[in-house]
C-alpha cells in the first residue's frame, strides 16, 4: 500500500470518527457535554483534513 493510500484511509477513518462525535453532540442534552463533543469532533475533523492534504501532497510529488 502506498503512503498516499495510507493517508487517505486514515483520513476516512478520522472523518467517520468526527461524524460519530458530531452525532453524539447533536443528541447530548447537557450544553457543556454538547460543546465538549462538538470541540472533539472539530479537532478530529481538522486532523482528517490534514491527513487528506498529506495524501494529496504525496500523490503530486515533491513541492517546489
**For position 7, what pLDDT does the model report?**
86
CA distance 18 to 24: 10
Instruction: Give the contacts of 40 (CB within 8 A, at least 6 positions apart).
Output: 21
In a domain, 63, yes or no: no
Q: How many domains does the chain have?
A: 1
Residue 62 in domain: no
Give the pLDDT of the chain (64 residues) as one tens digit per residue: 588 888 889 999 999 999 999 999 999 999 999 999 999 999 999 999 998 988 887 666 554 4
Q: Is residue 7 part of a domain?
A: yes
- Residue 57 phi, psi (nearest 5): -65, -40
| 36 found inside a domain | yes
Provide the domain limits for residue 39. 3-54
In a domain, 61, yes or no: no
Residue 62's pLDDT is what? 55
**Is residue 44 in a domain?**
yes
* 43, part of any domain: yes
Amino acid at each position: 500500500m502506498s503512503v498516499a493510500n495510507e493517508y487517505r484511509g486514515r483520513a476516512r477513518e478520522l472523518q467517520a470518527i468526527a461524524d460519530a462525535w458530531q452525532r453524539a453532540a447533536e443528541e447530548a442534552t447537557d450544553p457543556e457535554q454538547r460543546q465538549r463533543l462538538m470541540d472533539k469532533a472539530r479537532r478530529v475533523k481538522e486532523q482528517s483534513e490534514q491527513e487528506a492534504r498529506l495524501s494529496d501532497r504525496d500523490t503530486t510529488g515533491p513541492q517546489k
